Structure 1
């Protein structure tokens, strides 16, 4: 009941404009008992609709870190993307079950931000790291029909999770030596298992396109791409552990926009 009243109140709030806000950066935007941070891109004409990257923080963190993070915010700022960083209650996320209130909260964050900035509804990207990546998967499973792409880093849901919805594209990166959110190795050592859920949902075949790529010279990623009936699934693997790879988010945003990837 409390959640329903919150979202009803949001619908009755007047829109703030023209495209300005009294919150942003370190100053959180309040949403009932929740809050979130936002960061507009550096070069924006004040009129063009903005792609959105909603990024869920890792366990024990908050959105103020995300809007200052060099491997996240740097890439959205110089690519014309509006960054939204929700704050999880208790600095964590409820991602293990269907019907999580955090899914409704994140959807409300997008609508609240749309009252302050013009957003491009065709380019809403949901991202996250660690526990936040698992929450991004949960969002895509429960509210994914309007999600252009899921960008998940070092975290997921069990591959037998029943998802009612799906994003248009999935991009997942995971370190083979990750022992925090353990690399989900499949039967018989199958390294493609971290995206088995989406491959099954999208009707993918068994033979992905394989290539290697680098955003920075000190980290090589091995990429597998499935072009499927229901969308595209991409899995990037590296030999490291539990971290956000340098340049990874920027490269995904560039490729989703049809641009040649660059760093930073």
Structure 2
């Protein structure tokens, strides 16, 4: 604190001593006047609403995808070829006029015991017949030269049935197929397999037409009972698979009339049977009142054959099969 200053009690004035005479006291410089505060200028206008951001450009629509190119079938129209399936295979014939714009029937041909697929294809003449122009024909290869239902079979029970179903599905996946018009034929043990197909696959096959069939007892066992159109062609003088039944390879086989009557019952036929001679030495037997057609062609006195005349086996079976459908 400066000398001579007196601190006043609160609420008292402050007295100061007079300055000494010999000392002049310079007056304290007046404080410089404060610069006046600048007058407030006009307020800046309040910001208006922000201009909207430009909308993002709409993405260009994606170019339409080109439709997938049609997959060419593995065997061209008018050609034969072989297709592998599940460790087995089948030979296929595609009609020359095949087009995917319409659905085509399928005819399955089963070869005889110890017969090659190619040999059956040759002598059955299915390719060269009306069937070869109007249907896709498939020839499944057997296991060990035989088919299930026969005592000579090397396939397990149900194996040939499963392969047949898979084969039809495979053909339908590659070609335009009429699933209501799938048929089977076969010679001898292959004819027996056609009847196995009729027995166990009535949902697949609309009709079957076995020739000189080997009808061992299992070919007609445990069938679900749905009707299937049947034409059986057999010689009454067959010495290999006798018309009236017998035993071969240590196993019984059915008489043709007994198997025929079994299908007449399955197909809801009435009691009447009409026999019509239609060829020199052969006759047709027709069951009447059936839900599905049930017929025989009996070649009188003839042996274990695939006939080319009286009757023309190939044309007769196709004329029957082609009019059937599920």
Is 2:270 the counterpart of 1:205? yes
**Residue 181 of structure 1 pairs with residue 246 of structure 2:** no
Structure 2, unaligned runs of 5 or more: 1-68, 247-254
Taking the TM superposition and a 5 Å limit, the aligned residue runs for 1:48-59 are 48-59=102-113
Q: Extract structure 1 runs of 4+ deviating beyond 4 A.
A: 16-19, 22-26, 96-99
Of 92, 95, 115, 2:149 maps to 95
Q: Report whether the alignment pairs 1:168 with 2:233.
A: no
More RCO (CA 8 Å, sep 6+): 1
Residue 243 in structure 1 maps to residue 310 in structure 2: no
- In the alignment, what sits opposite 1:138? 196
* CA distance in 2: counterparts of 1:184 and 1:30, whole angstroms: 39
Paired residue secondary structure (2:315): helix
- Partner SS for 2:167: helix
Specify whether residues 47 and 63 from structure 1 end up closer, same or farther in structure 2 by C-alpha distance, changes over 3 A only: farther
Query: Structure 1: how far apart are the matches of 2:256 and 2:315?
Result: 24
State whether residues 207 and 228 of structure 2, in contact with CA within 8 Å, keep that contact through their aligned partners in structure 1: yes
**1:251/1:130 Cα in 2 relative to 1: closer, same or farther (>3 Å)?**
same
| Structure 1: unaligned runs, 5 residues or longer | 1-15, 259-264
CA contact (8 A) 2:131 2:318 kept: no
Change beyond 3 A, Cα 1:115–1:76: farther
- Range with greater deviation from structure 2 (57-66 or 135-144): 57-66
CA–CA distance in 1 between the matches of 2:96 and 2:120?
Answer: 16
Q: Which structure would you say has the larger Rg? A: 2
CA drift at 1:19: 5.4
Question: So what's the TM-score if we normalise by structure 2?
Answer: 0.64
Residue 66 and residue 160 in structure 1: after superposition, are their counterparts in 2 closer, same or farther (change >3 A)?
A: closer
Q: What is the CA RMSD across the aligned residues, in angstroms?
A: 2.9
Corresponding position of 2:205: 147
- SS where residue 183 of structure 1 aligns? coil
Change (3 A) 1:17 1:151: farther
Offset, 1:230: 3.5
The alignment of Structure 1 onto Structure 2 pairs a total of residues equal to 237
Q: As a proportion of its length, which structure holds more helix?
A: 1
The farther-off stretch of 116-125 and 154-163 is 154-163
